[in-house]
A = this chain, B = another copy of it.
């Protein structure tokens, strides 16, 4: 059917967990097929049940030609606890997909599975980049900016963040914005509230003080931003802890979904409004495309020795294809190496003693070959 020798050195190899999503194998393979038709330089290592994968590939000869299939006998369910996934996940499609990045067979891993399980397995196998205490998940957020997007992190890797974590998120987020949105000097803002005299929590103040000193170090620190600024054109990278970031992204999803629903109601209210909808259809499609969450599918795990992308659990073929496109962009430009270098230089410039806590040390075992 397919073999590794078909994957040439010119190709960018992405490791795919084909089993873990809610959308089923049809969605994943639909997305893979879309991707290879658009981009001839893609190749995949597919981790999943051989018979099911074979059935999908039998109908997709062009895709089969660039796929290397690895059989697994285990799938991590969407409701698995991260600790269970780590203890019992070895040999699963998710585990093996990340392990392909660790082994250097693939540059980026993509999974539609459980975020917590994927992060736990990724941390265990890839380990943290020296200088990173907490990894983060970064997403692209539709905005008024010229590129159409802002970057926000952390949206849920860790519910806590100390001041030093927020500073690291700023450095990593700026690296991502430079790479992904071709910005020379991204504008970084710290998410805070505007109603309190002391403007938020202690960690935010300390991070702000540090970022003011770092300003110019590959980014411009613009100070505090509020929730209403997240989709604005006054900031490129929004930094927050994973609890707040997760609430914010889901609140935005809920708001967009409410408005979509009400828009639909408004246009089906009467025969005249249904007639109006016919004329408005193209405009509405243009809007929908612009804020379609499938177009920006993919949370990138930052701060690990290797790049992992979490695709939406319910992603369809368009969503999976968007995640693959993001994976290709990050793989091709050597994003991970640049980010690690940037974090390391940040530590040298700001810390007098290196971080040597036992949990922070990157063991030789964890270093990618």
Chain A residues within CB distance 8 Å of chain B:
81-83, 115-116, 142-144, 156, 158-159, 191, 193-197, 200-201, 226-232, 240, 242-244, 246-259, 261-263, 265-267, 269, 272-273, 275-284, 286-287, 290-291
Contact = CB atoms under 8 A, between A and B. Distances in A.
A347 B144 CA distance: 48
20 contacts: A144-B258, A159-B196, A193-B247, A194-B246, A195-B246, A227-B252, A230-B251, A231-B258, A244-B244, A256-B259, A259-B259, A259-B291, A266-B284, A266-B286, A266-B287, A272-B282, A273-B283, A276-B276, A277-B280, A280-B280
Nearest to A274: B283
Given A227-B252, A230-B254, 20 more contacts: A156-B193, A158-B196, A159-B193, A194-B250, A226-B247, A228-B254, A229-B254, A230-B251, A231-B257, A231-B258, A243-B244, A247-B247, A252-B254, A258-B291, A259-B259, A263-B287, A266-B284, A272-B282, A273-B282, A273-B286
A83 B197 contact: yes
Contacts of A228: 250-251, 253-254, 257
B250 A142 contact: no
A227 B256 contact: no
A263 B280 CA distance: 11
A227 to B, nearest CB: 3
Nearest to A287: B266
A273 B285 CA distance: 11
A227 B249 contact: yes
